[in-house]
Structure 1
């Protein structure tokens, strides 16, 4: 249980560190249209700071019982059977985070996908889990890509490596839930299909 929460906190720290280095990276790569501009990064940091301040003033938001999130994980991810599912709820520094995850595999595990549902509660926690919602990214190499996109009205982040057929897609729902599909040996289309198997209308209606 602690491992998952530490991973979330680790993600928060990494995002903050990367955002702090954004201006330096932009200066080094000013000709690279695949990265966010210096101004965009600074604006994103200012917006995240505002959200964190507002979250502190409004007080912590009660997160959903992880069991309700777990119930929304499908039994099948685009043809891959679910092999395990787990959930947890943890708190630190005034934030409480609920998480539910499930792993899906084929017979020899040459294809696998992990789906995760996270209730970040207030925007203060969300900014650490999905800071990419504040910027636009579009980067492409010979072996893959990284970009921000949309599925319906929800902003998404995609990253894929062609040679290893591995990648991830994350989506923010109702400005508090982060839905993620990560996989190996699968196409991005399969990851998107797995993500779409989660009923976001039911997720939005949870209380």
Structure 2
């Protein structure tokens, strides 16, 4: 995940939250909008509390991406790994470490991108996993998007029924984000690929 995408995502999230809190007094009287506003205020409060905690404790040095690469499975629910890479980068004292892998079947009708990111416990994490501090639950005839939990970990997932594309992400130990994006497959398979990653071992890394 590139730095520019992270900053853009953070900006869009903040803008969306501020919009939810805005509006004229007449609109705020509506029950539905009041509920939305309260949810946005709660999310912003949690983000502020986490930012304060991170500032107090200070950032943790990001894990070497080579260590993260070792957790990338050689096989993703029957799909062969085609490539794997990693990098560490950052700015203004905020450093993230990332390991990525791509998987596919023989005719590329099923493809997967898997990423393990270590935000190092810095404020960068609030942009990378901002979804962990809000609640989303949307469903249409084309698919769905929601936040929740997968086992002990906060999760975010979305799926497009028409294109058979989806993704799931989990936040591990308040610093690691594991994301699986799949094309040409069911959400059940995407989740099973996430289970191929040893999340307990990832959580134990220091």
| TM-score normalized by the length of structure 2 | 0.88
Give 1:138 shift.
1.1
Question: What's 1:154 paired with?
Answer: 153
Provide the aligned C-alpha RMSD in A. Answer: 2.3
Larger-Rg structure: 2
Judged with a 3 Å threshold, the aligned counterparts in structure 2 of structure 1 residues 59 and 31 are, in CA distance, closer, same or farther, namely closer
User: Given the alignment of the two structures, is residue 6 of structure 1 paired with residue 10 of structure 2, yes or no?
Assistant: no
Question: What 5-or-longer segments of structure 1 have no aligned partner?
Answer: none
- Structure 1 runs of 4+ aligned residues shifted over 4 Å read 27-32
Distance 1:121 1:20 in 2: 27
Alpha carbons 2:147, 2:154 under 8 Å: kept:
yes
Alpha carbons 1:51, 1:123 under 8 Å: kept:
no
Greater Cα shift, 133-142 or 121-130: 121-130
Question: What's 1:82 paired with?
Answer: 81
Greater Cα shift, 191-200 or 147-156: 147-156
User: Given the alignment of the two structures, is residue 122 of structure 1 paired with residue 154 of structure 2, yes or no?
Assistant: no
Distance 1:171 1:184 in 2: 19
Judged with a 3 Å threshold, the aligned counterparts in structure 2 of structure 1 residues 48 and 123 are, in CA distance, closer, same or farther, namely farther
Distance 1:102 1:155 in 2: 22
Alpha carbons 2:146, 2:158 under 8 Å: kept:
yes
Distance 1:140 1:24 in 2: 25
Give 1:152 shift.
1.2
Distance 1:24 1:102 in 2: 41
User: Given the alignment of the two structures, is residue 20 of structure 1 paired with residue 12 of structure 2, yes or no?
Assistant: no
Distance 2:75 2:82 in 1: 9
Bigger RCO of structures 1 and 2 (CA < 8 A, at least 6 apart): 1
Judged with a 3 Å threshold, the aligned counterparts in structure 2 of structure 1 residues 20 and 108 are, in CA distance, closer, same or farther, namely farther
Question: What's 2:197 paired with?
Answer: 198
Question: What's 2:184 paired with?
Answer: 185
| TM-score normalized by the length of structure 1 | 0.88
Alpha carbons 2:167, 2:182 under 8 Å: kept:
yes
Partner deviation per Cα, 1:148-185 (whole Å, 9 max, x = no partner): 12111111111001000001100001111111001111
